Amino acid sequence: MIATRVRFGGLQNIVQRQFCASLQPKRYGTVQYQRIANVATANALISDTKTRASPVTLGGHRMYSSINYLRGDLECTAGTMNDVKQTIIQKLGIEVGYTPFVSTREHLVKYVPQSVSALPPRSMQDSFTSAIIPLTTDKILKDKYVGFMGNVRVGRLMEDMDMFAVWVVHKHVLVPDLPEGVSLPYTFVTVLVDKIDFTDLVPTHDADIRLSGHVSWVGRTSVEVVVWMEQKLHGKWRKLTRALFLMAARDATNTKAAFINPLVPANEEEKAIFDGGESRKKRRIQMQQEDLLKTEPNDFEQRMVHELFVKSIDTKSKAFNKRILPPGYVWMEDATMANIVFSHPEDRNAHNKVFGGFLMRNALELSWALAYNFAKRRPKLEHISDISFHHPVDVSSMLNMQAHVIFTDLHYMEIVVLADVYDAVTGQQTTTNSFYYTYSVAERLPKIMPKTYHEAMYYLDGRRKFRYAMGIDTATASSPPPATGTTDTTKSKL
């Protein structure tokens, strides 16, 4: 990965500090603020910067862009993450303080645009924004982020990234006919988080963290947001992670889809980023069509399952009901961990549903605990392959989170966490979220052995997610192995 280095002159640094200091939350959302944040920030402050290295492309999106405003060189444009949260509440007209009965927003439905043509097109520059997590100055905040080893809790950072993605969508949306003083007639819902990649840099608890991002693709009622996170170490911002959020635009009452401003690329690089979003949309459609709940495994995967089955059968007994565990394997049912999580009003979003970031944090920490227990040593989080939000979760819900190691390869393991809303009266469970994580350790891990057909499908699903996260399969999630003469480490061990 090649980083982009940028230098500011003395004048630019002075202007930068004055600009950040002048931003006030009460001015967010106004035309004047948008002009300052999107035009003055992007052009006047960093127009003279020079790129010393070429950007690196990953999945249709550049990790480090050569476009000035996409590099995120400013210290801040939206203040702190607490400022972002308060501004979102203000723009949506949400009452501060919890009540079981949410104020109706039905009066805002009439302001929802009735067509895409009624909304002005936007560019990626319009939605670019950044915010700070001030770990160096806010000691109370620092206690919420620090882990027992002195590092930053990654789950907390996932919470912030989810909220920040919503803020980016707020920056993108512009309703020209909305009367002054009327709240934004939208509800933004996280649909999924696609492939979060981590660098080797371990975040520390005593340095500020910056989130930056912009809209990278827009459909009629959905929007993709790219968010990257950096930490300031030794006077320089260094990359921590990057994530892609797919958000759905809903009306003020969250009862139906709402149209959103179209995205028009302003130059060739923005067009390349937008095309990457189109490619990811097609890939998601293809993966849905090939989902193991809809279609049977391909020929190679079926042979793989049969080979695993044969390995676990006692051939001396000449019976299928005698199952044995081969050396170097672990039963999938033994590589699991569960937790009951209670949600409270403090975990809610602006619409009195459980905040998606809260679910992401708890799922990640459970997956890490399972990875630690399975490997018997501290694991490293390499990728988050896929996070899906199937149903909203009500405040006061009791969540049953179950984590399973569903696939291993060399020193990597793929873990799925399923979040179920548990009804203590009826005993019924409804799956609301699924999370996929890829961890690594220094030593080779035992292989996973499924015992039932259900577990075998989890095994194949985990293999698909792992290969996608590692960049092995790029065309399709269930591609057959390469032709003879090429390398397929997974096949060689199965």
HEC letters along 363-429:
HHHHHHHHHHHHHCCCCEEEEEEEEEECCCCECCCEEEEEEEEEEEECCEEEEEEEEEEECCCCCCE
Output the pLDDT for position 396.
Answer: 73
Stated as kind and residue range, the H or E segment containing 436 is strand 429-440
Residue type, 386: D
Residues 6+ apart with CB under 8 A from 264: 121, 122, 123
Rounded mean pLDDT for each run of 10 residues along the chain, 494 residues in total: 34 36 39 37 30 37 46 66 87 69 78 91 92 88 81 85 92 91 89 83 87 93 93 90 90 89 91 89 83 86 90 75 87 93 72 77 92 93 84 80 94 94 79 91 94 92 90 52 36 32
According to the model, what pLDDT value does residue 340 have?
A: 87
* pLDDT for the residue 97: 60
pLDDT at 331: 95
Helix (H), strand (E) at residue 358: helix 356-375
**Cα angle for residues 262, 268, 274 (degrees, 5° grid):** 40
**Distances, alpha carbon 311 to alpha carbons 323, 406, 408, 444, in Å:** 9, 17, 17, 20
- Comparing CA positions, the residue from 394, 385, 321 lying closest to residue 355 is 394
pLDDT of residue 405: 96
Domain ranges in the chain are 79-288, 297-468
Residue 75: the pLDDT is: 58
Given the structure tokens 């439905």, which residue do they identify?
Answer: 109
d(CA 192, CA 208): 27
Instruction: Kindly state which CATH superfamily the domain 79-288 is placed in.
Output: Hotdog Thioesterase (3.10.129.10)
Q: Residue 252 has what DSSP assignment? A: T
Q: What's the confidence (pLDDT) of residue 33? A: 37
Compute the distance between CA of residue 279 and CA of residue 244 in angstroms, rounded to an integer.
13
Closest CA to 479 of 288, 222, 297, 211: 297
What Cα–Cα distance (Å) separates residue 425 from each residue in 68, 103, 354, 391, 429? 56, 29, 21, 20, 11
- Chain position carrying tokens 């060689």: 492
324 residue type, one letter: I
Instruction: Tell me how far CA of residue 107 lies from CA of 183, 200, 251, 380, in angstroms.
Output: 10, 49, 11, 49
Q: Does the fold of domain 297-468 match that of domain 79-288?
A: yes
Residue 91's pLDDT is what?
A: 86
Contact residues for 486 (Cβ-Cβ < 8 A; gap 6+): none
CATH-assigned architecture of domain 297-468:
Roll (3.10)
| E-strand stretches of 199-303 | 209-218, 222-233, 236-251
Sorted by sequence, the CB contacts under 8 Å of residue 8 that are 6+ apart come out as 16, 46, 49, 73
List all residues 6 or more positions away from 385 whose beta carbon is below 8 Å from its beta carbon.
195, 414, 436, 437, 438, 465, 466, 468, 469
Q: Are 177 and 231 in contact (CB under 8 A)?
A: no
Burial grade of 477 (CB within 10 A; 0-12, 13-18, 19 or more): buried
Asked whether the beta carbons of 493 and 447 are under 8 A apart, the reply is yes
